[in-house]
Structure 1
Amino acid sequence: MIRNYFKPVENIGLAAGMPPTKKRGVENTAAPGEPVPVAVALETMPDGPDDNGRKSSSCAAGETGAVQKQKDVEDTEEAQIMKKIEANKLAARKRLIESQQLKLEKQTMAEDWYTAFLPELHKPYFLAIKQALNKELQDGRVIYPALEEIYSFTRCSLKDVRVVIIGQDPYHGPNQAHGLCFSVKKGVPPPPSLNNIFRELETDLGNSAFTRPNHGSLEGWCSEGVLLLNAGLTVRKGEPNSHKHLGWATFTDAIIAHLDKTNMPERDHGLVFMLWGAFAQKKGAKINRKKHLVLTAKHPSPLSANQGGWFGCKHFSKANVWLKEKGVKEINWNHLP
């Protein structure tokens, strides 16, 4: 801009017959004592401090720093977004795997049970149970009951439960177990423990109130509000207690804890728990006796029953007396079609 601005001065000098003056870096040709041409003086002045230049440099540096900070922020935000995306992908993958692992539960559990215990089904220990069962099946093991019958106990609606009978683990013989404690499929001879249960029912209620069925299935009790729950829900063929440490006990403990906290829908009171044998009594040790009626007796297996403590326990009539006192419908123990 300086050169252009002072160009007319150079032209004036030439017009006056003055020798041309070189710009910056050219020797001054003016005679001694004569004034130096303005253009030359300005062009030959040494460069001094440029405040505007320093300010421009500072601004540029500041702008560069601000841009870098903004870029760092954007990089951080982008990293956080990518991290969230990856976390969401992993969570979605986990949900997909779990949904595949819980396909059996969704298809075979009664809807009210599935909904109530869905958080429990997603716990690591339960998914580990499913993995262990799948591995045994892949290894050619035979497991009882059939997979689709593991959760047969949920045929007793959760909201309608009035009596809970706790068993240990399923029968380990062919065609016996079908997801209900002490019960066997129709067409299968009743095991000794079940025969002793029928015998006690006959003496407790009388022949007019109970007629022994010609089969061993207790499925009819499910619609009466009787929950037939084994502590362990599966077993290997011919190997009693073989799935004792599989993790089922944790799941059935959660079921009992849920029932312990749940009041009957008709009235603000509890349930009847029948605990037969030391195992069941230990299983139900934490049940609130102030809220629930807890009946204990020896196990109905011949080994225990014949030593006393089973026959004459009158649990079935005691349960109905208690329910009636609470204004709740009694159990029809004869409902075994």
Structure 2
Amino acid sequence: MTGEDALFDLEPNNTTDQDFGALLDRPLEELMAPDWASSLRPVEGELYEALAFVSKQASHGTQVLPAASNLLRAFQRPLADVKVLLLGQDPYPTPGHAVGLSFSVSRETRPIPRSLANIYRELHDDLGLPPRIHGDLTAWSNQGVLLLNRVLSVAAGNAGSHRGKGWEAITTAAVTAVANRTDADGKQKPLVAILWGKDAESVGPLLNGAPSIVSVHPSPLSASRGFFGSKPFSRTNELLAGQGAGPVDWELPVL
């Protein structure tokens, strides 16, 4: 997401989980799926440094998003299940929006962020699927779409505030891990990367030749300059089929 989504009025969120310090006391295997823990072991030190930064921010009174319980949510499902990487920038800075999956919000969030509304518009134009009133993209995650932000935390109301604080090393390692998976024959596992915006596009060299769909970000400030009409959803399924993988069912459930 980008700062234009922060133009929504900030709202108090008394349910925000600020107990980031507790994450520092837990081993990597308790924070994420086992194969993710194994793959991110080389950057374990950097991960705990990023967690320490977030914990310190929260202890000084900064509202950090998403909640601690969702901070590493993108790594909860197994690395082995990933077939699509959908990379965002950093979490929505509006309290109540960020849920640890790029572009997704909770089912209760109204209105949905404008970047996500533009994604729904393109989904309709591309595949004819009806936009939903909710912004919960968990159904995509459950099918192997890794909804990962380049930076995993943000200070409420301050988009981009946690860039350069250590998360980039973690997500670089994560993208590298996804791209370098192989099957029993040593062949690269199916993967399609959807890269929206300059931050996401920067990981292109890490993809080990996996096909990517690149466009400007779906934010209101850029969507009309190449996001609309890019057909990322149908193109992703075509590229998956070319690798012998099944398609993603992009239709989201109704409430």
> Same fold, TM exceeding 0.5?
yes
For the residue of structure 1 that corresponds to 2:240, the secondary structure is helix
Could you tell me how far 1:113 is from its partner in structure 2? 1.8
Could you tell me how far 1:100 is from its partner in structure 2? 7.4
Of 34, 42, 49, the residue aligned with 1:111 is 34
Answer yes or no: is the 8 Å Cα contact 1:219–1:336 preserved in 2. no
Could you tell me how far 1:221 is from its partner in structure 2? 0.7
What TM-score, normalized by structure 2, do the two folds share?
0.83
Of 208, 223, 237, the residue aligned with 1:320 is 237
For 1:109 and 1:120, locate their aligned partners in 2 and report how far apart those are by CA, in whole Å.
14
Answer yes or no: is the 8 Å Cα contact 1:267–1:326 preserved in 2. no
For the residue of structure 2 that corresponds to 1:273, the secondary structure is strand
For 1:312 and 1:153, locate their aligned partners in 2 and report how far apart those are by CA, in whole Å.
28
Report the residue type matching 1:274 in the other structure: I
Structure 2 gaps of 5+ residues are 1-21
In the TM superposition, what whole-angstrom CA distance separates every residue of 1:66-105 from its partner, at most 9, and x where no partner exists?
A: xxxxxxxxxxxxxxxxxxxxxxxxxxxxxxxxx9725175
Residue 220 (1) aligns with residue 139 (2): yes
Moved more, 177-186 or 258-267: 258-267
Could you tell me how far 1:120 is from its partner in structure 2? 2.2
Could you tell me how far 1:223 is from its partner in structure 2? 1.1
Of 200, 214, 227, the residue aligned with 1:280 is 200
Which structure has the larger Rg? 1
Report the residue type matching 1:285 in the other structure: P
For the residue of structure 1 that corresponds to 2:85, the secondary structure is strand
C-alpha RMSD over aligned residues = 2.2
* 2:112 alignment partner in structure 1: 190
Answer yes or no: is the 8 Å Cα contact 1:104–1:148 preserved in 2. no
CA change 1:249–1:324 in 2 (3 A) is same
Answer yes or no: is the 8 Å Cα contact 2:112–2:133 preserved in 1. no
Which has the higher relative contact order, 1 or 2, with Cα contacts under 8 A spaced 6 or more apart?
A: 2
Could you tell me how far 1:295 is from its partner in structure 2? 0.9
For the residue of structure 2 that corresponds to 1:171, the secondary structure is coil
* 1:263 alignment partner in structure 2: 182
For 1:215 and 1:195, locate their aligned partners in 2 and report how far apart those are by CA, in whole Å.
10
Structure 1 gaps of 5+ residues are 1-98
